Amino acid sequence: MANILCFHLCFFVLYTVLRQTLTGAYNSGFSVQLIGQNSPNSPFYKSNELHMHRRASFYQVPKKSYAPNGPFTRVTSNNGDYLMKLTLGTPPVDVYGLVDTGSDLVWAQCTPCQGCYKQKSPMFEPLRSKTYTPLPCNSEECHSLFGHACSPKKLCAYSYAYADSSVTKGVLARETITFSSNNEESVVVGDIIFGCGHSNSGTFNENDMGIIGLGGGPLSLVSQIGSLYGSRRFSQCLVPFHADPQTSGTISFGDASDVSGEGVATTPLVSEEGQSPYLVTLEGISVGDTFVPFNSSEMLAKGNIMIDSGTPATYLPQEFYDRLVEELKVQNSLLPIDDDPDLGTQLCYRSETNIEGPTLTAHFEGADVQLMPIQTFIPPKDGVFCFAMASTADREYIFGNFAQSNILIGFDLDKKLVSFKPTDCANH
């Protein structure tokens, strides 16, 4: 979400659903599992039952509790962006927000909502929640967010903008997060500070109910729950774009996010303390055995690319991208498509199945990450596979979530490290 540019493949809906499971004791962390749209665990399955808890007439305010039985929640994904479920308030309301490692703020559309984008599910109603507490504008948390101001009622008003011109405006508040557990009991894992958005616009669709910021700032979900699990770290394992819709991947927090064992490669996190996005250093990409350097003439800059779960495609400098595409053409026996105006200037091939190669290797500082064709070529339509990378004139370069699929990626904000491990995310 840090920089969602127009990419021809982004309109193909990915509809993946995540189920979050607390895997052990409360202080051990928890995992978010992605499941297919057609699974009975999907929120789109038997959708008339999705919001049944909202119709109850009386709720007790929950107390904080532990999660020995493995609490879980669900998230969804569409248009190449993964959505994670947070259950807010008392009574609890399910909110599905875009998972975004490129930003910090956690926010949801709230009533009253004037000038907001269309949302399929009911919006969060703060006045109906017994645990909703708006923050005053003189609070420390309010001052930690850039773009805050005092409302006429002395509340912490905010305006938070994204690189794709999306904007959310509203009030910062403190709320309760509730998860379900294996024995169907509710488990409250803590309070979070979130943005109750009363005016929101941008590149959203009707399934998006907000954004879950997983960046490094003090108000991100990672930072806020870090104190509960002893460290600020999380990991993700995303299923490929065109995988079986009933397959699943995971997002984990705390101890459950450990990335270890054979095949792990680690690179320094260049981002400054308390800042987003997650910047790493990409030295180049090999096409087969041929190394294509990131820069051909300049000194390589540290932190030259961000790992962004909120952007599908990988965006590279024009000159680097052009050299990469030329080497791909040399090493592929198929002829590129040059007579389909729908594909624009993308490198595409006609094939009934994904192309067999070549394999790419992303060379991060100290970490070589192999990318198979399922991670680098995606089908915009039947019988066509296109290179899932593009050039950009912006100087913000992105390692997108297509390339991140089938890799267990761990982010350790305290040790300032990013770890990669090749993984079948459908079975992780």
What tens digit of pLDDT does each residue of 6-63 get? 333 332 222 233 323 333 334 556 565 543 444 444 454 433 322 222 222 233 333 4
User: 79 or 428: whose pLDDT is higher?
Assistant: 428
pLDDT of amino acid 82: 77
In this chain, the answer to whether the domains covering 16-255 and 259-427 adopt an identical fold is yes
Give the least confident one: 85-89, 225-229, 336-340, 403-407.
225-229
Per-residue pLDDT tens digits for 138-164 = 999 999 888 889 999 999 999 999 888
Query: Can you tell me whether residue 319 is helix, strand or coil?
Result: helix
- The topology (CATH level 3) of 16-255 is Cathepsin D, subunit A; domain 1 (2.40.70)
Helix (H) or strand (E) holding 229: helix 221-229
pLDDT of amino acid 14: 29
Asked whether the beta carbons of 364 and 355 are under 8 A apart, the reply is: no
- The topology (CATH level 3) of 259-427 is Cathepsin D, subunit A; domain 1 (2.40.70)
Band of the pLDDT at 244, cuts 50, 70, 90? Answer: low
Nearest CA among 165, 98, 161 for reference residue 312: 98
User: 275 or 365: whose pLDDT is higher?
Assistant: 365
Per-residue pLDDT tens digits for 382-404 = 999 999 999 998 888 999 989 99
Using H for helix, E for strand and C for coil, what is the string for 73-116? EEEEEECCEEEEEEEECCCCEEEEEEEECCCCCEEEEECCCCCC
User: 284 or 297: whose pLDDT is higher?
Assistant: 284
pLDDT of amino acid 77: 47
Phi then psi for 16, rounded to 5 degrees? -115, 150
pLDDT of amino acid 70: 31
Give the least confident one: 178-182, 211-215, 330-334, 412-416.
178-182
pLDDT of amino acid 186: 62
Query: CA angle 71-259-35, nearest 5°?
Result: 45
pLDDT of amino acid 56: 26
pLDDT of amino acid 45: 41
Is 289 an active-site residue?
no
Phi then psi for 346, rounded to 5 degrees? -65, 150
* Reported pTM: 0.81
Domain ranges of the chain: 16-255, 259-427
Band of the pLDDT at 241, cuts 50, 70, 90? Answer: confident
- Give the torsion through C-alpha atoms of 325, 327, 328, 331, to 10 deg: 160
Q: What is the mean pLDDT of residues 316-337?
A: 95
pLDDT of amino acid 109: 97
Is 100 an active-site residue?
yes
Q: What is the mean pLDDT of residues 241-264?
A: 78
Per-residue pLDDT tens digits for 105-122 = 999 999 999 889 999 999
pLDDT of amino acid 34: 44
Q: Which of 100, 104, 208, 412 is catalytic?
A: 100
Asked whether the beta carbons of 22 and 30 are under 8 A apart, the reply is: yes
Asked whether the beta carbons of 60 and 176 are under 8 A apart, the reply is: no
Q: How far is 126 from 208, CA to CA, in rounded Å?
A: 18
How does the average pLDDT of the chain come out, rounded? Answer: 79
Nearest CA among 78, 9, 14, 36 for reference residue 381: 9
pLDDT of amino acid 181: 42
Band of the pLDDT at 92, cuts 50, 70, 90? Answer: confident
